[in-house]
Amino acid sequence: MSSGKEHDKATLIISVPFGVSVGLFLGADLGILGGLSFLVGGLWLSPDLDTHSNSLKRWGFLKWMWWPYRKSIKHRSIFSHGPFIGTVLRTTYLMTWLILMLATLQLLGVIELIPIVQKLTNLIKNNPIQIFTVILGFESSAMLHLIKDGDPWLLK
Ligand SMILES: [Zn+2]
């Protein structure tokens, strides 16, 4: 199992060849998006959000959002350190918070939720390859994390 510093260092180093590889197949713009998504996935959405970690500290004053996640998911369980399921759960969890925050802003009369949801839906519908690239970056950085941890889920 690697330390937080080792995970961060591996994420920073591997994000470059990952972005270059994506760029070779999908073009330079998507290569940059893929490399940045790999960084965000490894540094902010790491499987180690299930414990006190560097990733958790990076959320700064927003790290309270991950308290329910940490309390309900055991460190290194399949729900945080399982291939695919970990990334799906973390991104779904984050999207749920985003929706709750937007709904709260609507209740306070600060925003109109429906037009924002429609714009987000259109953004996703009109940019499927970009969304795919972001998800690929998130999941690939999670896979790097699992390999560095020596997680048993990858050996099954
Ligand atoms: Zn880990």
- For residue 107, report the distance from its CA to the centre of ligand 1, in Å: 38
Q: What percent of the chain has pLDDT over 70?
A: 96
Rounded to the nearest whole angstrom, what is the distance from the C-alpha of residue 106 to the centroid of ligand 1?
Answer: 37
The rounded Å distance from CA 61 to ligand 1 centre is: 22
Q: Compute, in angstroms, the gap from residue 55 CA to the centroid of ligand 1.
A: 11
Residue-wise pLDDT tens digits, 53-87: 999 999 999 999 999 999 999 998 999 999 999 99
Percent of the residues in the chain that have a pLDDT greater than 90, as a whole number = 88
Q: For residue 2, with 0-12 CB atoms within 10 Å meaning exposed, 13-18 middle and 19 or more buried, which class applies?
A: middle
Say what the pTM is: 0.90
Residue 99 corresponds to which tokens in the numbers above? 């929706």
> In the structure, what pLDDT confidence band is assigned to residue 3 with cuts at 50, 70 and 90?
confident
Distance from residue 77's CA to the centre of ligand 1 (Å)? 9
Q: What residue ranges do the domains of the chain occupy? A: 4-155
Nearest CA among 117, 137, 133, 47 for reference residue 89? 47
Query: What is the tens place of the pLDDT at every residue in 27-58?
Result: 999 999 999 999 999 999 999 999 999 999 99
